[in-house]
Amino acid sequence: MGMAAVVCFGEVLLRLSAPGRELLLQSPRLEVCVGGAETNVAVALSRWGHAVRLASVLPDNALGAAALDELRRHGVDVSAVLRRPGRMGLYFLAPGAGHRPSEVVYDRAGSAFATAPDALDWPRVFDGADHLHVSGVTPALGPASAQAAIAAVRAARNAGLRVSFDGNYRARLWQAWDGDAAGLLRQVLDQADIAFVDHRDVALLLGRRFEEADPAARFAAAADAAFAAFPRLARMACTVRTTHSVDHHALQGLMALREGTRHTTRTVEVRGIVDRIGGGDAFAAGVLHGLRSGLGDAEALEFGLGAGVLKHTLPGDVMLLRASDVAAFVDAGQLDVRR
């Protein structure tokens, strides 16, 4: 029998980007790639040697077929992806430049996933799996998706799977249907073993503020509150991002464990950014890879930070570099040509 699988549940998207640093439709061209928060995690983990199954709903048309082919190309098991009538979820990206931030326009309403996410047979999806990864994007899409996310994490818990949750709060998606973000996300996080959330996510969920001046102290206070509110939660991790310009950020990783241990990585200056989309997903995938590969918590956090940093060097949503590439960066920060 092969290794137990990680199941990632969420919508597969097509990203349509303005070329270069243009505004949307400044010239009549768009560059297309496959992405989405949970898809990005699935692809990274699969490329790093893990058995990964994506649970989703795709339209029964040429766009859905192309997305499936892309997932298969990266070794992701798509046996739990349903095909249904409907449209493909899209988002449009105008990449930022200098002091002009990137801008995202969502076009996901009424997609095949958003209208039929409850059609998945969870006992079949979870067969041979030991871990479910979800994000806050799915419950933000609408009432049906929110209930499907809650049902998924509860079914996973009942089946004995570990659950990871990435906050990925998307205000525009919640506002589109006036959804109860705090109430619904609490029900998802209540089932999680590990959460990729920061103090802002915890503040939203618990209706309180964390105002410590030091980022690490603020994270620690939020973690203490989260552990008190969510008894199953064992680990909480996030990145601290300082944005100097679109092309220059600084990233640091933080992790808190329920028993009180805290881990902090070095701060990495990230210059010459190619594409920051998917950096958080690469971080989450990196931490999960480390934990599933037997690394200690501190080492898994370092690997996650390395994966997140290196994702900034790649265009598109997904992290395509090998685990050995990430490990080499973590170990030495080597920038020399490897011959």
Q: How many CB atoms lie within 10 A of CB 298?
A: 16
Q: What would the two tokens of residue 266 be?
A: 């070095």
- Please give the Cα distance from 199 to 183 (Å, whole number): 17
* Residue of 137, 148, 156, 160 whose CA lies nearest to 11: 137
Question: How far out from the chain centre does Cα 42 lie?
Answer: 9
Compute CA distances 252 → 144, 215, 265, whole Å: 36, 10, 6
And the tokens for 193?
């073993």
Distances (CA, A) of 190 to 107, 122, 159, 194, 212: 30, 19, 16, 10, 25
Active-site position among 166, 190, 281, 317: 281
Q: Which two tokens stand for residue 44?
A: 């990274």
Q: Which residues pair with 132 in a beta bridge?
A: 7, 163
Tokens of residue 118, six digits: 């409850």
Residues 39, 8 contacting (CB under 8 angstroms):
yes
Residue 92, CA atoms < 13 Å, CB-side half-sphere: 11
281 is catalytic: yes
Neighbours of 79 (CB within 10 A): 11
Residues noted as catalytic = 281
